Each structure stands twice: as structure tokens, then as C-alpha cells.
Amino acid sequence: MDSSTVSQTLDADLATVPNVSGINNHQGGQGCADLQLMTYECEWARSKGFYVVDSNSARNSKVAQAAVSLGLGHKRNEVFIDHQNDPDYIRSAMRKLADLATKNGYAIGICHFNRPNTAAVVGEMVKVLKEEGLFAFARDIDN
């Protein structure tokens, strides 16, 4: 895809999701390993004032390289929060994320907005973790 096609595709996607402040890649290995494609995506994100998180879902991901080269920093997923749809699994993943943040100063996790248990359980855990002083949004992490 050329830069124009990437921008048009992302603009169309953006129109379907309200309140966006950042993006993450999830194209699979082939897309994530394409430095030019990831650069186009990161350029588009920068033009919108968005942050970029590397989903860390592809071994040869070039997202970090593209983002850092454009001054967007290196934000990388460390925990897939809803890899399983079980509420206890989601709670455990959120706790793992909090433990990593305590150990390393911060940690980023990603999840799917449309899975049946995700919103309710993540919302529940966000309240718990905020009370413990262990929660921030990815947009608020500077690195």
C-alpha cells in the first residue's frame, strides 16, 4: 500500500471509532514486518496527534523502529489482557500488568473492545488499580 492508501484506510477506520487518542498495530506478521507500511501508519498517527503502541504480536515488528524514527517514542504491549474471554483470566492479566508496572515503572497492556467480558472486567480492574495507584492510560506514558 502506498502512503495515500494507508491514510485513506486509516481515516475511514477512524470515522468508526469515537474518542481515539492513539493506535496500535495488529496486521499480523507480514504487515508489521514492513517498515515502509509501519512508517506510513506512524506518520498518519503523528499527523493526527496520536500515540502509537506496538502490539508486540509479530516477531519481526518494525513498529517501534518507525515510531522512534518519527519521534513518537517506543510504547510496546507487554500483556494481552483478554487473550481468553474468561473474567478470571482478564483479572489475572490486569494484575500481571500491575505487577510489571510496579517492577518496571510502567507497563502497557492491550485488549479487544468488543469481546463480551472485556469492558466490564477491565472497567472493574481499572477502579481497583486506580485505588492502588497503579493505573494510567497509555497516552499518559512518556518514553
Per-residue pLDDT of the chain (143 residues; tens, 9 = 90+): 899 999 999 999 999 988 999 998 776 778 889 999 999 999 999 999 999 999 988 889 999 999 999 999 889 999 999 999 999 999 999 999 999 999 999 999 999 888 999 999 999 999 999 999 888 888 888 76
One-letter amino acid for residue 42 of the chain: C
pTM of the model: 0.85
Query: What cell does 13 get?
Result: 477506520
Backbone angles phi and psi of 51, in degrees to 5: -90, 165
Instruction: Answer for the pair 2, 8: CB distance below 8 angstroms, yes or no.
Output: no
**What size, in residues, is the chain?**
143
